[in-house]
Amino acid sequence: MSIFEPSVVQAGTLQVMAELPTLEWITDSRVERLSQDFYWFSPILKRQLEGLRADAVVRPKTEDQIRAVVAACARLGLPITVRGSGTGNYGQCMPLHGGVILDLSAYNQLLWCKPGVARAQAGIRMMEMDRQTQPQGWELRCVPSTFRSATLGGLYGGGFGGVGSINHGPLASTGNVLGVRAMSIEPEPRVVELRAPEALLLHHVYGTNGLVLELEVGLAPAHPWLEAIVCFDNFDAAIEFGDALASAQGLVKKSVTLLAAPIPDLLMQAVPPLAGVMQTGSHAVFVLVAEFGEPGFQQLVAEFGGQVTLRKTAGEVKSSNRTIVEYTWNHTTLHAMKADKALTYIQSGFQAGRHVAQAKELRALLGDEVLVHLEFIRTKEGAMNCSGLQLVRYTSDERLNQIMQIHREHGVYIANPHVYIVEDGKQGQVNPDVVATKLRFDPQGLLNPGKLRGWEQREQIMADAAAGKVSLATLPSF
Amino acid sequence: MSIFEPSVVQAGTLQVMAELPTLEWITDSRVERLSQDFYWFSPILKRQLEGLRADAVVRPKTEDQIRAVVAACARLGLPITVRGSGTGNYGQCMPLHGGVILDLSAYNQLLWCKPGVARAQAGIRMMEMDRQTQPQGWELRCVPSTFRSATLGGLYGGGFGGVGSINHGPLASTGNVLGVRAMSIEPEPRVVELRAPEALLLHHVYGTNGLVLELEVGLAPAHPWLEAIVCFDNFDAAIEFGDALASAQGLVKKSVTLLAAPIPDLLMQAVPPLAGVMQTGSHAVFVLVAEFGEPGFQQLVAEFGGQVTLRKTAGEVKSSNRTIVEYTWNHTTLHAMKADKALTYIQSGFQAGRHVAQAKELRALLGDEVLVHLEFIRTKEGAMNCSGLQLVRYTSDERLNQIMQIHREHGVYIANPHVYIVEDGKQGQVNPDVVATKLRFDPQGLLNPGKLRGWEQREQIMADAAAGKVSLATLPSF
């Protein structure tokens, strides 16, 4: 029997609600949606996680309200699952043992913006944050294609990088996250500011080792971004163009996405505004380049023999309220799955420098079964590389795993999006620092219990640390 | 007998002066200084070029004045040597056959500045250009340490990259130079706008294949730059810190310079404001990082065990009118030679990715004879690399050449600063496009005759092009 007995959790949740009647509680049919994310991108997760549901969702507006919920849950030993807008896709914010969902989307103020840095509450939507900072000439360094609804805390908790990582690398690159304010899950919650590098101890573990209240992040200059789609008959020309454009340091850009055939056809079929904007059967490169960089961009297009089939100025993008960003990253997956329900996807990281050769090799090997979607980004170490969000024609779990294994055997890292345990998506590696941080911030193990396998090894990890076998990051005092 | 008989050239120069009496002509003792640059950094060039002198210097203020001088010289077949402020150091603007020096430093207006791009007359001093564009939030992407006096046209004509190339690569990277307006050297001079990539056909050939009047260049956001010096006991730690900082894409920076021991000691000896600011015997890294990036910078300093011995905010830099930029690039050479007259230097380009290993290897091999000075920059292809401006304890020409050869044998490219023929500094390679461009813009071969060896091969090159053996860039019509 689980230590989280459903009936006990349910009763406890009702008790917390009764204790805190002035908070915004949701218990109606919306709970189901608020217990989910885009886990259904994976046929495996769809099977495993379908039907998971919290007992209630609470949407606090202030730190005091958050503290009150956390204190009450901790006192009663109830599971808490933190979420932003639920745009992630590993079942990241789906409660394995019910309890309370702490929806931070109403805790969403921009606290301040200075040149190059801003601080906001975790629940701020990234589009809203950009809207507030852009008039000062600054914007977020890295946003997901879901920036319209996704929250900053959600990106930190469950994201890796995104649009803009072509300049600044993943979120974890030094300088991108300067600090976070985190709360412990205890009957008397405590709060501490973690500055970088410790500010990254709660990053990309889906809110399982602490509760992030505020984030201080680096900003990038907000340029007027020209949006363009460049079509190629030839895959090699398309990827080489993408790589050259991505690497050209004199060309100021925000993203370069390669969608190999037949992805452009799928998008044109699924997304009415894209109908006819690409050549049928072509390989497309989606580009955001600074308007003042257009001459150099056009020079590279000519050099590689591409054809610009869509071109929108920053003004046109703004007035249309439609951006090609929303067809890249996992929006590509979303739209392609609309056109073909049998598709799923994988996530991969190539080897910087070998990335183009690896991508060509794997495409030749896997043919029509894997549809190549690459996003060019800089690595943490500053080298040009690409991340793959390849679409896969799903036939069986075995074949899907085999395809991932083939990538690994060719030196390509797989961030497996078909597993819901944090470590399973990261080649199974337990991070002792993550576990030690959870011991500090969530000593009772209430944050979405069951997601972090390393938690089961906490005693061993702390014993190893005491014996000097493992060196752990030093956390500041509360 | 040279086709440029000194007495004929001298008489012709007097005739041009007489024809154009309203222009600013210089014929007094200043001609000697205006016929020189920093060629004396090289003991070899010092011997070869000492005493070269133009017959007169002219300092036009308008395109019409430039046109009048060019027309008159072309009609009389007089050598013309174009110069900016003469801060180069390959004898680049030293007239091999006398004649007229066309000093463009009074042709110096900023024509316009838009977000990300500006256009100026070739003679504008880079500090002055920055002064005019910075209030709009923009500045030059790449400046030499001589930015205070050096001209934009001079950088284009004789420079490769500089402070800022750590972000945008060398000047030749796509997007950095958008266009140039060039004049032909003919009795009736013609003018044409060359857009990129043709805009680079006159780049880095020291004004020998055409006369550049205006330049349109990409700009970078003007951030408040914090200046710091970080000292290390250990060379490996210093170079690894420099490389990590240079590569960290989340840390916004403008330059990273490594000065291995004993260069810091030489600088402290030669430059009064630097006395005592570094640890004696240490290896120093000079850094310009955005003020908002300081936390991440300090994080890396701690990680690599460095000690910040100088830290000046952008405001302090501005009010002191003193910047550490003026101790980097070839200012390091200048100051070190003040402290030790037996020093000279070499210029080198490492292999991106192998650059740190190569630098360690060569330092181990060459010991105290070569003092390591590295500037971290991105390559044209966007990879992190470094350029070396190593100081060399000069003993003989043979040993100096041997040291350069040892670098080549270790895979390091040498831009030989001890030769005055353009191609000799570039491994002897003749560039057919450069020669074809000169045929177009300088059909009589009047631009500092004797500097461009490829000119002697012009007939063969054009015959090869006609026979389809060589493919030449297409130039626009006048």
In this complex, the residue of A173, A244, A252 whose CB is nearest that of residue B248 is: A173
Residue B315 contacts A, CB cutoff 8 Å: no
Widest distance between CA atoms in chain A: 67
Q: How remote is the C-alpha of B109 from its chain's centroid?
A: 21
pLDDT exceeds cutoff 80 at A2: no
* Test mutation, B117, B171, B194, B249, chain A, max A CBs within 10 A: B249
The mean pLDDT of A267-275, rounded to a whole number, is 96
Could you tell me how many helices (H) and strands (E) chain A has, helices first?
A: 16, 21
Interatomic CA distance for residues A367 and A370, integer angstroms: 6
Q: What is the rounded distance in angstroms from the CA atom of residue A29 to the CA atom of residue A35?
A: 11
Nearest to A102 by CA among A6, A158, A2, A35: A35
CA B466, CA B455: separation in Å to the nearest integer? 17
Q: Is A221 on the interface with B (CB under 8 A)?
A: yes
Our measurement of the distance from residue A357's CA atom to the centroid of its chain's CA atoms, rounded to an integer in Å, reads 26
**Judging by beta carbons within 10 Å of its beta carbon (0-12, 13-18, 19+), is residue B345 exposed, middle or buried?**
buried
DSSP letter at A151 equals B
Q: What is the mean pLDDT of chain A?
A: 97
Q: Give the distance between the most distant pair of CA atoms in chain B.
A: 67
Question: Residue type at B150?
Answer: A
Q: Identify the pLDDT of residue A243.
A: 98
What is d(CA A161, CA A387) in angstroms, rounded to the nearest whole number? Answer: 10
- Chain segment A288-303, per-residue pLDDT in tens: 999 999 999 999 999 9
DSSP element (H, E) containing B413: strand B413-414
- pLDDT of B1 reads 42
Pair of tokens at residue A390: 């390849």
Low-confidence ranges of chain B (pLDDT < 70): 1-2
pLDDT at position A397? 97
CA–CA dist A224, A290 (Å, integer): 6
Confidence of residue A478 (pLDDT cuts 50, 70, 90): confident
Count A/B contacts: CB-CB distance under 8 Å: 119
Which residues in chain B (343-362) have CB-CB distances under 8 A to chain A? 353
CB atoms within 10 A of CB B96: 18
Among the listed residues B137, B146, B85, B112, the one whose alpha carbon sits nearest the alpha carbon of residue B216: B112
Q: How confident is the model at residue A90, as a pLDDT?
A: 87
Q: Let me know: does A351 contact A411? Beta carbons within 8 Å.
A: yes
Q: Are strands B370-371 and B391-393 parallel, antiparallel or unpaired?
A: antiparallel
For residues A80-105, average pLDDT = 96
Contact B296 A224 (CB under 8 A): no
For residue A1, pLDDT beyond 80: no
Alpha-carbon distances of A245 from A172, A237, A283, A462, rounded to whole Å:
24, 12, 16, 47
What value does the mean pLDDT take over residues A351-371?
A: 97
Q: What are phi and psi of A79, to 5 degrees?
A: -65, 140
The proportion of chain A whose per-residue pLDDT surpasses 70, expressed as a percent, equals: 100
Rounded average pLDDT over A247-264? 98
Contact A299 B174 (CB under 8 A): yes
A77 in Cβ contact with A444 (< 8 Å):
yes
- Using CB atoms, which residue from A223, A353, A381 is nearest to B247? A381
